[in-house]
């Protein structure tokens, strides 16, 4: 996969600033990924987000998009606004759907997925060999699908 220019990733309220890109890691079964700072129009960093490009079994549980908004900036839907920009980047990579997952108790993240009109596929048990189960002790994830 070839990484593309991401300078178009901005809206009236947020812009995504590329911090790094990571090539695929076939041994770990990881796809290529972009990592961004979520910034306001003045360039102040408000959080982070990432997009994993491609498809693998692990992404059903781990999700294609991750996001975190710093505490002082929460409540303004910046995570959803960042995801909308990442949806366009995914489209430009020829992707037709994405998964976003979260812990069942993470109500803010669930609301973000609902705000983005994701289809809730349910709370799914992580496979026994999943990295999140093995390394972090997690057992289940809420899974949302987004058709692009």
101-122 exposure pattern, b = at least 16 Cβ within 10 A, e = fewer:
bbeeeeeebbebbeebebeeee
Confidence of residue 134 (pLDDT cuts 50, 70, 90): confident
Question: What H or E segment, with its residue span, contains residue 89?
Answer: helix 78-92
Residue 135 has pLDDT above 90, yes or no: no
Task: Name residues whose C-beta falls within 8 Å of residue 90's C-beta, 6 or more positions apart in sequence.
Answer: 51, 53, 64, 98, 148
Two tokens, residue 76: 């303004």
Residue 83 contacts residue 109 (beta carbons within 8 Å): no
In this prediction, residue 28 carries a pLDDT of 85
Percent of the chain with pLDDT over 70: 100
Neighbours of 145 (CB within 10 A): 14
- Calculate the average pLDDT of the chain: 95
In this prediction, residue 130 carries a pLDDT of 86
Judge if pTM exceeds 0.85: yes
CATH code given to domain 14-147: 3.40.630.30
Residue 44 has pLDDT above 90, yes or no: yes
Count CA within 13 A, CB hemisphere, residue 97: 12
Query: Mind listing the pLDDT tens digit for each residue in 53-103?
Result: 999 988 999 999 999 999 999 999 999 999 999 999 999 999 999 999 999
- The residue with tokens 């003045």 is 42
In this prediction, residue 78 carries a pLDDT of 98
């Amino acid at each position: 996969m070839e990484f593309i220019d991401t300078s178009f990733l901005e809206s009236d309220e947020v812009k995504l600033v590329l911090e790094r890109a990571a090539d695929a890691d076939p041994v770990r079964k990881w796809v290529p990924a972009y990592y961004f700072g979520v910034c306001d129009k003045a360039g102040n960093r408000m959080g982070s987000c990432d997009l994993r490009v491609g498809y693998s079994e692990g992404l059903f549980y781990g999700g294609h998009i991750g996001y975190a908004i710093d505490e002082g900036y929460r409540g303004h839907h910046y995570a959803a606004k960042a995801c909308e920009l990442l949806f366009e980047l995914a489209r430009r990579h020829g992707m037709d759907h994405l998964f976003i997952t979260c812990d069942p108790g993470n109500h803010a993240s669930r609301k973000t997925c609902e705000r983005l009109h994701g289809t809730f596929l349910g709370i799914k048990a992580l496979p026994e060999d999943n990295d999140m189960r093995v390394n972090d002790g997690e057992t289940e994830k809420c899974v949302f699908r987004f058709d692009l």
